[in-house]
Structure formats: C-alpha cells, structure tokens
Amino acid sequence: MLPEIEQLLILQDRDRKIRLLRQEQKTAPLERKALEDKLTSAQTQLESVRLKAKEIEVERKKLENEAQTVRDRIAKYQAQKFQTRKNDEFAALSHEIERGEKDIQSIEDRELDLMEAAEKQKAVISESEKQTSAIKAQFDRQTADIDEKAKAITAQLGEIEADRVKLAEAVEEDLRDTYDRLIRSKNGEAVVGLQHDVCSGCHMKVTPTTSSKCRSRKEIVHCENCARILYWED
C-alpha cells in the first residue's frame, strides 16, 4: 500500500471517530430534555391531584357553613314557634322547620359523598407522590450518568482531535486539501477500496486504466465517477 494511502486511512479513521463522538455529544442534551419532560409531567400531575383534593375540601367547608346557616334558621323558627299563639303562624313555622330539616339531610348526604371523594383522592395523591419520587430518583441517576458520559466524550474528542491535527500535518498539503474536500462532500468516505474493479464508494466499475494504476500502487488514483481516492484491495 502507498504510504500516503496508509496515512489517509488512519486520518479517515480518526475523522470517523470524531464524527461519531460529535453525534453522541448531540444526543446528551436530547436525552436530558426527555428526562426533564418526564419529571415535569409527573410533577404537574401531582399538583393537579393535590389541587383537586383542595377543591373537595373547599366544597365540604362550604356545605358545612350552609348546614350551619340552616340549623340557625331552624333554631330561630323553633323559638318563634313556642312564642306564637296564632295557629296559622305555628303551622307555617312547623312547615319551615320541616323543610329546613330536609335541606340539612340533603346537605349531609352531599358532605358524605365529598368525604368519600376526599378519601379516594388521598389514595390518588399518595400514588402520584410515589410515582413522582421514583421518577425524580431516576432523573437524578440518569442525568448524572448523562453528564458523566458527556464529560468523557468531550475528553475523548479532545484527544482524538489533537491526534488528528498531528496526523494531518504529516500529509502532503495538496493531498490533504483533496482529502479534506472529499471527506466533507462524500459523507466521511474520502478513501475507499477498489474491489473487483468496483469503487466501494459509489459502487461503479472503474476503467481498466484506473484499475491498473490503482493496482500498481505508485500514485494516488481517483474514481472517475465519484472522485474518491481509491486503494487496491486484495
């Protein structure tokens, strides 16, 4: 193999690694975001079930006050009932008292329903709290892993990039320019093997002249279809 080809293949290997590490670097914030979203959604859910419990409590207090108002009214009517001497007024007050008692019964029924709902909501909150704290623990653990991994990738990238600079410096300038242009335009594949006269970059058959030049391993040969640099693969 031509020494230049060997140099370029090592360079290409480093470029491939750099590209992969940069891609991995991009996934870290996305993974973090997904975990954050999951946690936020659990916290929002918890807030909403807690709010529901508060609403039930407010409603229950309201009914309690309502019942008290009716009780006060009944007490007032009862006092009036014993003072009156008029039959029709007595009858009217008795009727009002009876109606008030019915109202209290219906308010108390609604209070019971709300107390039952409050009990159920307590269980819902407890389940939601459990879920949220599990998700928070998972979030802490996984984001720590992500941060650690990101740090390792940055360190590794730094090393490989430094190595790449040295390797690139050793390549003759014109060839390096050609390589750099190809690596950018050919999706990271600048130097490819020639197998049975077929360029493994574009999968086209090259001319016999190109093939024999490549086989002789004396000069840098390009695929006439895709312009990639070719090397002979036995």
Greatest alpha-carbon pair distance for the chain in Å reads 132
The stretch near Zn ion (CB under 5 A) out of 44-52, 116-124, 191-199, 213-221 is: 191-199
CA 227 to chain centre: 42
Binder to Zn ion among 114, 201, 210, 213 (CB under 5 A)?
201
Helices (H), 170-234: 173-185, 208-216
Task: By CB under 5 A, tell whether 160 contacts Zn ion.
Answer: no
Sign of the dihedral through C-alpha 212, 214, 218, 223: positive
**Which phi and psi (to 5°) does residue 227 adopt?**
75, 5
The stretch near Zn ion (CB under 5 A) out of 82-90, 143-151, 179-187, 224-232 is: 224-232
CB of 11 to Zn ion, least distance (A): 19
Binder to Zn ion among 97, 226, 229, 231 (CB under 5 A)?
226
CB nearer Zn ion, residue 117 or residue 202: 202
In the block, which residue shows the tokens 């709300």?
114
202-221: contacts with Zn ion (CB under 5 A)? 202
CB nearer Zn ion, residue 183 or residue 226: 226
Q: In terms of DSSP bridges, do strands 221-222 and 198-199 run parallel, antiparallel, or are they unpaired? A: unpaired
Structural contact between residues 94 and 81, judged by C-beta atoms closer than 8 angstroms: yes
Binder to Zn ion among 160, 199, 214, 221 (CB under 5 A)?
199
The stretch near Zn ion (CB under 5 A) out of 30-38, 124-132, 158-166, 201-209 is: 201-209
- Spatial CB neighbours of 154, under 8 Å, sequence gap ≥ 6: 25
CB nearer Zn ion, residue 221 or residue 226: 226
Binding region for Zn ion (CB under 5 A): 199, 201-202, 223, 225-226
